[in-house]
Amino acid sequence: MRNIKTVGIAGTGVIGAGWAARFLAQGLDVIAWDPAADAEGKLRAAVENAWPALSKLGLFKGADQNRLRFTSSLEDMAEQADFIQESAPERLELKIDLHRDLDQAAANDVIIASSTSGLLPSDFQSKCQNPGRIIVGHPFNPVYLLPLVEIVGGAKSGEEALTVATEFYTRMGMKPLRLKKEIEGFLSDRLQEALWRENLHVINDGYASTGDMDDAIRYGPGLRWAMMGTNQAFYLAGGDEGMRHFLKQFGPALKLPWTKLEAPELTDELIEKMVVGTEEQAEGKSVKELERLRDNCLIAIMQALRTYDIGAGKIFNDNEKRRIVDSQEMPPWKSGDDIPAPLTLYHSPVLSEWVDYNKHMTESAYLLAIGWAADALYRYIGNDDSNRENGFSIYTAESHLNHYREAVVGDTISVSTQLLDCDEKRLHLFHEMKNEKTGDLLFTAEQMVLYVNMEQGRATPMPEGIFKASKAVVEAHAHLPIPEQIGHQIKIKGK
């Protein structure tokens, strides 16, 4: 399969536009097609509306809304795409014919993934000459934020296509969930459908309003679901004996007539209840306003889960590390490489969570950014993830910080790092943070860091390769002037 640099979007409604925003934020080119007369304008407006949320998450190198192209020709889109994401309306015959046309126009090694929420890929393959590359990649709205994507193969889907799609979606910052068997509705929508049917019954029978039913989720199990699913939550409900005790205690309740999985008739009265109830819940806010509120809340929940490296928070952390690695323009040092003096290995937009009530970067955010810059240096000299997995890392022992100018959301910062000295256990670093556009000096940090055996909790000699790389950087930086901030102490002059 080919290197995926350009993604084709077939169908640019809510889901297709969400895909376009995610791919653009990851630094890819996107070429989109939709036969509707006003499709391009709506697509660009949707991407623009999603961009603030994506900026808060952290854009990847090359991310740019201007890398979105729109074409009126399906063939033109398919011929230029390295991967195609189909997001047309949920009509089976339409999708069968669309996949036939895409299959005819796209190169044979281009995967065609459908965003369908429950139709079967085997049906989409029925008129295709190259059915092995036809699969399902089912996302969740908002596609540009929620990481889950269900991957489903049809009867003729090739293993290579499924594997490449899994790897591609992972690189797009998602959590691929590959189904063991093809099934209508897949996994998540079957669960949502059951909940939705019961929701309609309760409202139809007059037991609750739409707001009551939403409160029953968002103040209770919904918060729990952000970190664990139904099975794990009920495992904990069984106490120390786990699921066995839970099923023994609560299993008999499954025989009680609590729920009605068969959907109620959608009468005019029930439709009116649903419409009036949800409009009251909106409290006059537009859909775009509610989308932005939803995005901000989702980001806040994911950021909260980051601390514990669980659920969507783990995806958030993995994406942050990958974004830093991807932005690092130089591969790890090897003998004979020319070493820039100083090294500029870290660039980042100022993220919204980095600013305080004054709208400026907080002190902690400056140090966080310097920490990522130091991490980039450590990766450059060979202290990578595998080294940390083996129990070794680099810890900060002392830092001296100087603030010069403010940074705000919308600014992009870059950090250059000078390695002043090293021995077998220590590195002496100096960082300069600048506004990438204006060149203004924002912040400096002098640091002494230690190579540490994490299990023993003490400094230890570096491996030969890391120490050799460190010495090479020190030698390459030896001609740089000593920064004036080095060795300063805090005091009031004249006292």
- For residue 44, what is the domain's CATH number? 3.40.50.720
> Domain with 236 in it: what CATH number?
1.10.1040.10
The answer on 389 and 352 residing in a single domain is yes
Is residue 91 in some structural domain? yes
In a domain, 209, yes or no: yes
User: For residue 254, is it within any domain?
Assistant: yes
The pTM is what? 0.76
Could you list the mean pLDDT of each consecutive 10-residue stretch along the chain, which spans 495 residues?
Answer: 91 97 97 96 96 87 95 97 97 97 97 96 97 97 95 96 97 95 94 93 95 91 85 84 83 81 85 87 87 85 85 85 71 91 90 84 92 92 89 94 92 94 96 95 96 94 96 96 87 71
Q: Is 335 in the same domain as 408?
A: yes
pLDDT the model gives residue 410:
81
Same domain, 366 and 468: yes
The Cα-based distances of 45 to 5, 32, 101, 170 in angstroms read 23, 14, 28, 26
- What angle (nearest 5°) sits at the alpha carbon of residue 110, between those of residues 321 and 64? 45
- Report if residue 380 sits inside a domain: yes
- The confidence score (pLDDT) of residue 18 equals 97
Contact between residue 20 and residue 68 where contact means Cβ atoms under 8 Å apart: yes
Per DSSP, helices labelled H in 238-341 are 242-250, 268-282, 287-306, 312-327
pLDDT of residue 245: 81
pLDDT at res. 13: 94
- Residues 177 and 148 sit within 8 Å (Cβ to Cβ): yes
- Sequence-ordered list of residues with C-beta below 8 angstroms from that of 365, at least 6 positions apart, any chain: 350, 351, 353, 354, 355
| One domain for residues 107 and 139 | yes
Same domain, 115 and 261: no
Place of tokens 């991967």: 83
pLDDT of 209 reads: 95
In total, how many domains does the chain have?
Answer: 3
Domain assignment of residue 293, yes or no: no
CATH (domain of 440): 3.10.129.10
Do 409 and 453 fall within a single domain? yes
CA separation for the pair 308, 21 (Å, rounded): 28
Same domain, 23 and 161: yes
Burial class (CB in 10 A: 0-12, 13-18, 19+), 125: buried
Structural domain that includes position 389? 330-477
Domain contains 307: no
Domain end (from 260, 284, 308): 284
Q: Within this chain, do residues 362 and 445 fall inside the same structural domain, yes or no?
A: yes
| Separation between Cα atoms, residue 435 and residue 182, nearest integer Å | 51
Contact between 394 and 452 under an 8 Å Cβ cutoff? The reply is: yes
Does 145 share its domain with 48?
yes
Does 488 map to a domain?
A: no
Secondary structure (3-state) at 452: strand
Domain boundary, last residue among 158, 186, 214: 186
Tell whether 67 and 81 lie within a shared domain: yes
Q: What is the pLDDT of residue 1?
A: 61
Residue 340 sits in the same domain as residue 461: yes
Which of 167, 186, 205 marks a domain boundary?
186
Q: Is residue 484 part of a domain?
A: no
Same domain, 43 and 171: yes
Tallying the residues shown for the chain, one arrives at 495
